[in-house]
Amino acid sequence: MKFGTKAIHAGVEPDPSTGAIMTPIYQTSTYVQASPGDHKGYEYARTQNPTRTALESSLAALENGQFATAFGSGMAAVDAIIKSLRPGDEVISTNDLYGGSYRIFTKVFEPYGIKFHFVDLSNTENLSSLINDNTKMIWLETPTNPLIRIIDVEAVVNIAKPRGIKVVVDNTFASPYLQNPLDLGADIVMHSITKYIAGHSDVVMGCVVTNDEAFHQQIRFIQNAVGAVPGPQDCFLVLRGIKTLHLRMRAHCENGAKVAHFLKSHPKVSHVYWPGFEDAPGHEVAKRQMRDFGGMLSFTLKGDQMDDALKVLEGTSLFSLAESLGGVESLIGHPASMTHASIPKEEREKSGLSDTLIRLSVGVEDAEDLLEDLAKALDKV
Ligand code: P1T
């Protein structure tokens, strides 16, 4: 089945009790049993909920995986994955990653004895010197947040697999429409569903998808034992959002390309980070592992002055200054003070994230209006 058909149909059956074509919002915390243990497969809503079950089936199908588990946020999904590790285990992570992921790794899990190494994985040669007998997981985002670097998933898998190291791909920036890491050999995919999958900036949610049944059982156990589950109303909203994921992603990619080329040719712009340029470092890998180049990009201004960056950040009107990404509306952000403020400045600088970097989540408005909005803001510089 092709992606658009899966987005509309996978995991979703007419409701057995009424025939409702849309999965109902099962707003219930518990389910009645005829006698102890004699129930219809549902006992308590932390453990199972039919709206969530439909969503999890849909998410698994979109990532070509067998098993998906939904969580109350992207960070709760990250939390569950790292809780599958034990003290003494080590993780090698990309050094360009969401600030919240860096924060949970270093501030929550390092004190429990899990060790994290941060390195630029867009050069996979950086991996081998860090691998040792304790290495249990490699963590990557591709494209990365916020420098939109591309990491070669198959190259990482080729190094990890023979050593029994699990490869996790945070696929949030690509979405399942653009990239399916399990098909490239990764063991685990996670998403901040909050972004492209939900698509309308009205839900916070996350998921873990895998083909590894033993790992799935561990994640399912953590989901129930810890309880960071999404509510049924949010699951409904995401099921609704998924039905247009392919349509939205095509529009994000088309607008992303127009904005990237506009900025690249603008006299006040110094550098645009977007993998669609033929001379971008990750271009060939992106062409191979992604369907298109996405709607996320970052840029810096000539002269590299904070005052100038602020004029652009405050000067747009269609691009709203806000954290998050992947919704239908365009957003502009300042990673150093917003989404990546939890990474110390010296670590940010080591990974190439400057204080003047501006990040865009290009929405699905009419491209002409978006270009005009950016042109006006750049005129203020
Ligand atoms: O916000 P939440 O749903 O908990 O997801 C966390 C998360 C995980 N992984 C990536 C790659 C992310 O970008 C995020 C959240 N990111 C933002 C809020 C942001 O503006 O970058």
User: Rounded to an integer, what distance in angstroms lies between the CA atom of residue 242 and that of residue 207?
Assistant: 14
Ligand 1 atom closest to the Cα of residue 194 is 3
Who's near 206: CB < 8 A, 6+ residues apart? 70, 71, 72, 73, 74, 75, 76, 77, 78, 190, 191, 192, 193, 194
User: Rounded to an integer, what distance in angstroms lies between the CA atom of residue 377 and that of residue 381?
Assistant: 7
What pLDDT is attached to residue 325? 98
What pLDDT is attached to residue 50? 97
Cα 137 to middle of ligand 1, angstroms: 20
| 3 state DSSP class of 131 | coil
Burial of 59 (0-12, 13-18, 19+ CB in 10 A): buried
Tokens of 281: 């470092």
- Give per-residue burial for 107-129: e unless 16+ CB within 10 Å, then b: eebeeeebbbbbbbbbebeebee
Whose CA is closest to atom 6 on ligand 1?
Answer: 74
Question: What residues does ligand 1 touch, defined as CB less than 6 Å away?
Answer: 73-75, 98, 100-101, 141, 145, 170, 172-173, 192, 194, 204, 206, 323-325, 339
Q: Where are the beta strands (DSSP E) in the chain?
A: 67-71, 90-94, 115-119, 135-141, 166-170, 188-192, 206-210, 269-273, 296-301, 320-321, 331-333, 358-361
Ligand 1 atom closest to the Cα of residue 204 is 3
Q: Which helix (H) or strand (E) holds 176?
A: helix 175-178
Burial of 273 (0-12, 13-18, 19+ CB in 10 A): buried
What pLDDT is attached to residue 161? 98
**What angle do helix axes 50-62 and 232-242 make, rounded to 10 degrees?**
30
| Phi, psi (rounded to 5 degrees) for 121 | -90, 0
Structural contact between residues 162 and 116, judged by C-beta atoms closer than 8 angstroms: no
Active site residues: 46, 98, 170, 195
Cα 74 to middle of ligand 1, angstroms: 6
How many C-beta atoms lie closer than 10 Å to residue 145's C-beta?
Answer: 28
Structural contact between residues 50 and 42, judged by C-beta atoms closer than 8 angstroms: yes
Q: What is the pLDDT along the chain (381 residues), one digit of tens a residue?
A: 999 999 999 999 999 999 999 999 999 999 999 999 999 999 999 999 999 999 999 999 999 999 999 999 999 999 999 999 999 999 999 999 999 999 999 999 999 999 999 999 999 999 999 999 999 999 999 999 999 999 999 999 999 999 999 999 999 999 999 999 999 999 999 999 999 999 999 999 999 999 999 999 999 999 999 999 999 999 999 999 999 999 999 999 999 999 999 999 999 999 999 999 999 999 999 999 999 999 999 999 999 999 999 999 999 999 999 999 999 999 999 999 999 999 999 999 999 999 999 999 999 999 999 999 999 999 999
User: Rounded to an integer, what distance in angstroms lies between the CA atom of residue 302 and that of residue 267?
Assistant: 8
Cα 207 to middle of ligand 1, angstroms: 12
Cα 59 to middle of ligand 1, angstroms: 18
| 3-242 CATH pick, 1.20.120.80, 3.20.20.370, 3.40.640.10, 3.50.50.60 | 3.40.640.10
Fold entry, domain 245-379: Aspartate Aminotransferase, domain 1 (3.90.1150)
Identify the DSSP state of 202.
-
**Residue appearing with tokens 């049924």:** 232
Cα 70 to middle of ligand 1, angstroms: 15
Closest by CA position to 150, among listed 287, 257, 259: 287
What pLDDT is attached to residue 203? 98
* Size of the chain in residues: 381
**Rounded (5°) CA angle 245-247-250:** 105
> Is there a shared CATH topology between the 3-242 domain and the 245-379 domain?
no
Please give the C-alpha separations between residue 195 and each of 6, 198, 205, in angstroms, as whole numbers. Answer: 19, 6, 9
Strands 269-273 and 296-301: antiparallel
Residue spans of the domains in the chain: they are 3-242, 245-379
What pLDDT is attached to residue 286? 98
Beta-carbon-side half-sphere exposure of residue 13 (alpha carbons within 13 Å): 8
Tokens of 203: 């839900």
- For the beta sheet containing 269-273, the strands, ordered from the edge strand earlier in sequence to the opposite edge, are 269-273, 296-301, 358-361, 331-333, 320-321
Closest by CA position to 256, among listed 80, 93, 374: 374
Ligand 1 atom closest to the Cα of residue 324 is 20
Pocket test for ligand 1, best of 81, 148, 192 (most atoms within 8 A of CB): 192
